[in-house]
Amino acid sequence: MDLKGFDQPGSPAGDGTRSVKVMIAGGFGTGKTTMVRSVSDIKPLTTEETLTEASAGVDHLIGVADKTETTVSLDFGKIGLNDELVLYLFGTPGQERFWFLWNGLFKGALGAVVLVDTRRLASSFRAIEEMERQDVPFVIALNVFPDSPEHPVDEIRDALDISPDIPVVACDARDRSSSRDVLVALIRHLKERSAVVALEPR
């Protein structure tokens, strides 16, 4: 048997590598998977969860159990930040109602990027609401499509009804350095929040 890597069975194997996670949220078709793909070190993968939900409001046949099983997929990628720290990026399922069913999807995340298509602002409303409800710190990334209208950021901020301290940045989700810059904006925002929290009296 090949025992490479197991020279000391029973003792903690491997190095001290740890992980952090960031969620990429946003409405359907806003470019979540595109962003994961452009910035990931690995070819993006898909992981699944089988969710059981009561099929209220869905036509059902007599005798058929009133629960349905749905498979929800998460596209994800990873970035090696240094020898001992890996960042995992998860694109959230397109339909926000599944976020409730997947327990702890956002738990333990450093924060989230909410992608917005400025041609269809409304498609990301739910994602923003959900971040606020679950108290996940986030930045807004306007994914600029070739035919996106030019809107002043203030106008978009108003339309999205977000607080003034939430950064709004423009990006091209297909571009690696542009997507990287969005992640940098998120981490800077988290640092600023930390500074504010640290200054508040306990």
Site for another protein contains 176 (CB under 8 A): yes
Question: Measured between alpha carbons, how far is residue 24 from residues 13, 145, 147, 150 in Å?
Answer: 31, 18, 23, 23
In the complex, least distance from residue 139 CB atom to another protein, rounded to whole angstroms? 13
Report how far residue 98's alpha carbon sits from residue 163's, in angstroms, rounded to the nearest whole number: 26
Length of the chain: 202
Site for another protein contains 175 (CB under 8 A): no
In the complex, least distance from residue 149 CB atom to another protein, rounded to whole angstroms? 24
Report how far residue 12's alpha carbon sits from residue 86's, in angstroms, rounded to the nearest whole number: 19
Q: How far is CA 126 from the centre of its chain?
A: 14
Degrees to nearest 5, angle at CA 123 with 145 and 75: 75
Site for another protein contains 21 (CB under 8 A): yes
Nearer to another protein, 174 or 180 (CB): 180
Site for another protein contains 19 (CB under 8 A): yes
**Backbone angles phi and psi of 15, in degrees to 5:** -90, -165
Burial of 76 (0-12, 13-18, 19+ CB in 10 A): buried
Site for another protein contains 60 (CB under 8 A): no
Site for another protein contains 107 (CB under 8 A): yes
In the complex, least distance from residue 106 CB atom to another protein, rounded to whole angstroms? 10
Task: Give 3-state DSSP helix, strand, coil % of the chain, rounded to 5.
Answer: 30, 30, 40
In the complex, least distance from residue 3 CB atom to another protein, rounded to whole angstroms? 6
Nearer to another protein, 3 or 149 (CB): 3
Part in contact with another protein (CB under 8 A); list of ranges 64-72, 115-123, 145-153, 155-163: 64-72
Site for another protein contains 129 (CB under 8 A): no
Site for another protein contains 120 (CB under 8 A): no
Single residue of 98, 113, 142, 171 touching another protein by CB under 8 A: 98
Q: Which of residues 65-84 bind another protein (CB under 8 A)?
A: 68-76, 78-82
